[in-house]
Amino acid sequence: MRLTRYFLPVLKENPAEAQIVSHRLMLRAGMIKQASAGIYSWLPLGFKVLRKIENIVHEEQMRAGHIPMLMPTLQSADLWRESGRYDDYGEEMLRITDRHGRDMLYGPTNEELITDIFRAHVSSYRDLPLTLYHIQWKFRDEIRPRFGVMRGREFLMKDGYNFDLTKEDALHAYNRHLVSYLRTYERMGLQAIPMRADSGPIGGDDTHEFLVLAETGESEVFYDSAVTDIQLGEREIDYDDVDQCRAVMEEFTALYARTDETHDEAKFNEIPEERRRSARGIEVGQIFYFGTKYSAAMGATVQGPDGKPVEVHMGSHGIGVSRLLGAIIEASHDDNGIIWPEGVTPFHAGIVNLKQGDAEADAACEAIYAAMTAVGLEPLYDDREERAGAKFATMDLIGLPWRITVGPRGLKNGVVELTSRRTGENEELPPEEAVQRLA
């Protein structure tokens, strides 16, 4: 992409309405624009990162054997009356009446809708286990939308639902989700710690939230500092292997890590004092096992091996896809702007032409652009007639992990400069080698 042909409305001034750094940087980098309270337009740069995050979520869900689909944003109130949640859900639910006077709502979550699909089409235990998921916009009329996309009213969520014959199978689905979520967050350069949590309006017995530690997080958390040393890393996972998934779940949840709702002071005090931590965290996901709560209320049964009807065991599992942009920026930025982890960066590298219009510099930039594209990398070429300082500031603000700086002086010696956004380290090398380094 050439910057002169792109749409990147960066702001020079700090927007007054932004209280936290991720919100400020997303506005300044021209990623989002508020449409109304808690509702945002995703401008091209923000949309690109959102898509990258969505793709990682899809890849990891499909790797775990979960099946993608898409349910609508608007739902009929009838299903929610069946489950009993139409009245329980309260003011966070946006209720709408259509022209025929029918009660509708903008879905805050999808347990009812998916259970209705399940009961219409699945009737035998032979069709289980089954986990369906989608990535769809949700609406929750949050009392205090704030911090940009972190607490929006309209936000993008991945929500998945498992249907199993037995509690044991459903707990395997729970563990599978836990493992797949760990991998998902790690691919985004994030450490998200599973913490024992409270089930809230979804209802359920077993639940963990995934928290990214950050001072601006809205959750209060308590944990043993040793949990921050555990990583999934590159290990091979077989998602059909019940024992392996359970072992990973146990490894990641054995140490004390809880949100304030389930915090137990006595247990906490058993941790050696130097490892006790209380901190703030951003909830980027949550997994639930809730047994037969919805299948019983809505009559979702299958015929078991003995011919008798069995209410299916279910769980639901969510990832805050749009909130993740904020969480990643909170965890990865400096005074000059965003520092994208490689896995989610909107462009792989920026090309800065120090002397636009200089035949040699222009040709070198074009050649680097073509070479990067040929190996599947996406560059953002700053081809504006601008001062070097302004070009550097823009690149730093939008946070691409690498910058290739091209100018007549370096080209005389046959070199360009490759700069790491994260470390600031510079290296002079021939243009072809710079591209190879990124490939």
**Which of 42, 106, 155, 223 lies at the binding interface for ligand ATP (CB under 6 A)?**
155
* Residue showing the smallest CB distance to ligand ATP in the complex: 320
252 lines the binding site for ligand ATP (CB under 6 A): no
Classify residue 113 as left (phi > 0), alpha (psi -120 to 50) or beta. alpha
CA distance 110 to 114: 6
Close Cβ partners of 231 (under 8 Å, ≥ 6 residues apart): 186, 191
Q: Which residue has the tokens 């599973």?
A: 194
> Side by side, which strands form the sheet with 74-76?
74-76, 103-106, 94-97
Binding residues for ligand ATP restricted to 257-296, rule: CB under 6 A? 283-286
Q: Which is nearer to ligand ATP, 285 or 350 (CB)?
A: 285
Q: Which residues bind Mg ion (CB under 5 A)?
A: 283, 286
How far, rounded to the nearest angstrom, does the alpha carbon of residue 350 sit from its chain's CA centroid? 24
CB 156 within 8 A of CB 21: no
Place of tokens 């995050």: 53
Cα radius of gyration rounded to whole Å, the chain: 24
Q: With contact defined as beta carbons under 8 Å apart, do 113 and 75 qualify?
A: yes
Q: Name the minimum Å distance from CB 286 to Mg ion.
A: 4
Query: Is residue 173 involved in binding ligand ATP (CB under 6 A)?
Result: no
Stretch that binds ligand ATP, among 152-160, 231-239, 385-393, 430-438 (CB under 6 A): 152-160
Q: Any contact of residue 151 with ligand ATP (CB under 6 A)?
A: yes
| Interacting partner of 383 out of Mg ion, ligand ATP, none (Cβ under 5 to 8 A depending on kind) | none
Establish if 142 lies at the interface with ligand ATP (CB under 6 A).
yes
Binding mask 322-361 for ligand ATP (x = CB under 6 A): xx--------------------------------------
- The reply on whether position 313 binds ligand ATP by CB under 6 A is no
Taking CB atoms, the residue at the shortest distance from Mg ion is 286
Backbone angles phi, psi at 127, to 5 degrees: -85, 0
- Binding residues for ligand ATP, total number by CB under 6 A: 15
